[in-house]
Amino acid sequence: MPLNGNPLGTLRILLVEDSPEDAELLSDQILEAGLAASFERVDQGAAMRAALARGAPDIVLSDLSMPGFSGYEALRILRELHPRVPFIFVSGTIGEENAVQALHEGANDYIIKHSPARLPSAVARAVREARSAIERMRVDEELMRAQRLESLALLAAGLSHDLRNILQPLLIVPDLMRGRSADPQLGRLADVVAECGRRGHEMVDSMLSFVRGSRQPSERIVVQRLFQGVGMLLKSSMPAHVELFIDVTDERLAVEANYTELQQVLLNLSLNALQAMPQGGRLSLIAECVQGVDGTDLLRIRVQDQGVGMDEQTQARLFSPFFTTKANGTGLGLVSCKRIIESSHGSIHVHSEPGVGTCFDLLLPLQLQTEGRESVDAPLVPAGRGQRVLVVDGEATRLSLLGNALSSQGYQLRLAADGAAAMRHIQDAGLPEVVLVDSGIQLLSAGQLLHEMRELGYCGPAIVLEEAGAPTFAAGYSPAGIDVHVLPKPLEMQRVFHAVADALQ
Ligand code: ADP
Ligand code: MG
């Protein structure tokens, strides 16, 4: 009688049976019931292992006792090699006791040989149940992965605020150090600290944008400059026995992307390369123009190491979230590289050979920078001449650092931790010539504070400090007569100095 239900495809059935005639009988019953199946018969442990090593069957049907082998041994071998493949005992002698033991040991069903009418439907049901169990597991895993990503997102969002505040001094203190000492050595150390601070902020931002899945604004990036920046960051963490080779074949090579994100990609790849070369070697960063398959010019950025390399299995899983072979790895580095490169309309390719090394190629749409190259050195900032600056910021560290930095630049400072304190200062000491206000202040919002000041006759400029990715100060809300400049956080002192000087002009 044909079986109803979903077609199961051609089943691969492994028969553990010493009698060829019995095996034939079983196969006939299954085929006659309308199931499509191919059969293989074994009656020894070694032969069974060999058959299972060639691939998992859909189901195993096994006799209970055979000369030199038993159904229970067959069951144990199957559970060891393929724990999820269903197993049915088919025996002439199965008694109630044996049946109970069979199920206890993990068999899915048992059937009496002499009344085999039930066999085909039992086979179909066991296969169907096993397949849906695997599907459920896959769905559960997918769900768990999604939940992990979601909790990661929450964690990242929570941490990023605190991290930014903790990192803020790294951006401001170096400028103060340079201002207080002409020692060039100290200046260089200050540069390193400032660069780390900047990098820390950028990492927090890109972590956030990764979990939010948002896209950062793109800009035209001159590869030469990008490589200079990355080289400077790498040099401070380069092991002594690793040689860094950087080559940009054409200084006009440029690409449209987000600078911070692209830098992050190169740092991730370089860090992986360094970690793959514990014995040392050469890390190369090479940018050149290559031809794409359709003949268009592409920018190829190659990050190459002479490290341990990867086998095929590792290469196949490289871009799955949380895949790592390192004890303290996150398995997120390459995932975010791929996301960033693809969001810039590029692609990422890997060639690797165990024991020889690894090469990651980034292919991106090519731009050529033809106009004058921008200068890397910031222009000189005009110093203050005692102008009165009011700074309103609820974050205590940033407030005092801003105060220090601006007064060392020649301004007269008033500091307030919230909107109400700012109004008290103004009532006591009069209006400032410029106000710097954080968009997140308490007791009065930044907009309300500016309105109150306007009421008192203030018509100077205002600099509003804003969270880069999440602006809260509505520009339209600023009162008429006050010129508002928005300054994105994290703050770098040079930008603050410029903003204040420009606002006062
Ligand atoms: P993590 O570095 O935290 O492990 P990644 O996503 O950056 O996460 O990398 C995933 C895995 O890919 C690494 O654990 C490593 O096994 C492999 N891998 C990445 N880059 C290299 C490389 N340059 N050489 C050898 N293996 C690499
Ligand atoms: Mg990594």
pLDDT confidence of residue 116? 67
CA dist., res. 164 & res. 491, Å (int)? 10
Which pTM was predicted?
0.45
Average pLDDT of the segment spanning 126-133: 90
Counting atoms of ligand 1 from 1, which one is nearest the CA of 303?
23
For the stretch 1-35, pLDDT in tens is 455 555 788 999 999 999 999 999 999 999 999 99
Residue 375 confidence (pLDDT): 39
CA 205 / ligand 2 centre spacing (Å)? 18
From 138-147, 208-217, 224-233, 491-500, the region with the lowest mean pLDDT: 208-217
Tell me which residues have their CB closer than 6 angstroms to ligand 1: 268, 272-273, 276, 305, 307-310, 314, 318, 323-326, 329-334, 358
Position in ligand 1 atom list of the atom nearest CA 273: 23
Residue whose Cα lies nearest atom 7 of ligand 1: it is 333
Average pLDDT for 182-196: 86
- Please, which pLDDT band fits residue 210 given cuts at 50, 70 and 90? low
Please report which confidence band the pLDDT of residue 236 belongs to, taking 50, 70 and 90 as the band edges.
low
pLDDT tens readout for residues 48-75: 999 999 999 999 999 988 999 999 999 9
- Assign 216 a pLDDT band (cuts: 50, 70, 90): low
Q: Which atom of ligand 1 is nearest to the CA of 329?
A: 3
pLDDT of residue 19: 92
- Mean pLDDT computed over 76-82: 94
Atom of ligand 1 nearest to the CA of 360: 23
Q: How far apart are CA 10 and CA 30, in angstroms?
A: 12
Give nearest CA residue, ligand 1 atom 2.
Answer: 329
Contact 436, 392 (CB under 8 A): yes
How far away, in angstroms, is 245 Cα from ligand 1 center? Answer: 20
Instruction: Give yes or no for residue 315 having a pLDDT over 70.
Output: yes
Q: Over 50: is that where the pLDDT of 252 sits?
A: yes
**How many Å separate Cα 281 from the centre of its chain?**
27
The mean of the pLDDT values for the chain is: 85
In angstroms, what is the span from residue 272 Cα to ligand 1's centroid? Answer: 5
Distance 422 CA to ligand 2 centre (A): 47
Q: Which of 272, 304, 348 to mutate to test the pocket of ligand 1 (most atoms within 8 A of CB)?
A: 272
pLDDT the model gives residue 137:
84
Q: Which ligand is nearest to the CA of 271?
A: 2
Full set of structural domains in the chain with CATH: 11-134 (3.40.50.2300), 242-370 (3.30.565.10), 388-504 (3.40.50.2300)
| Cβ count within 10 A of residue 434 | 24
At 204, the pLDDT band (50, 70, 90 cuts) reads confident
430: left (phi over 0), alpha (psi -120 to 50) or beta: left
* 470 has pLDDT over 70: no
Write down the pLDDT at residue 1.
45
Q: Whose CA is nearest to atom 25 of ligand 1?
A: 309
Residue of minimum CA distance from atom 27 in ligand 1: 272
Cis amide leading into 488 (omega within 30): no
Query: What is the 485 CA–ligand 1 centroid distance (Å)?
Result: 43
pLDDT at 473: 72
Q: pLDDT tens across 348-385, in order?
A: 999 999 999 999 999 999 988 765 444 344 456 677 88
Per the CB < 8 A criterion, the answer to whether 398 and 420 are in contact is no
Question: What are 203's two structure tokens?
Answer: 């990492």
Residue 74 to residue 63: CA distance in whole angstroms: 9
What letter represents residue 244's amino acid? L
pLDDT score, position 39: 96
Distance 127 CA to ligand 1 centre (A): 38
**Choice from 264, 334, 341, 359 to test ligand 1 binding pocket (greatest atom count within 8 A of CB):** 334
Distance 324 CA to ligand 1 centre (A): 6
Name every residue whose Cβ is closer than 8 Å to that of residue 498 and which is 6 or more positions away in sequence. 381
pLDDT bracket for residue 147 (50, 70, 90): low
φ, ψ at 41 (rounded to 5°): -115, 135
pLDDT confidence of residue 374: 44
Angle at 42 between CA 39 and CA 45, to 5 degrees: 140
* Token pair recorded at residue 498: 């410029």
What's the gap in Å between 151 CA and the centre of ligand 2?
21
Atom of ligand 1 nearest to the CA of 307: 24
DSSP string, 390-408: EEE-S-HHHHHHHHHHHHH
pLDDT at residue 389, rounded to an integer: 95
272 alpha carbon – ligand 2 mean position (Å)? 5
Greater confidence, 308 or 404?
308
Atom 13 (ligand 1): residue with closest C-alpha? Answer: 324
Query: Is pLDDT above 80 for 152?
Result: no
How far is residue 11's CA from residue 127's CA, in Å, rounded to a whole number?
A: 9
The pLDDT assigned to 212 comes to: 62
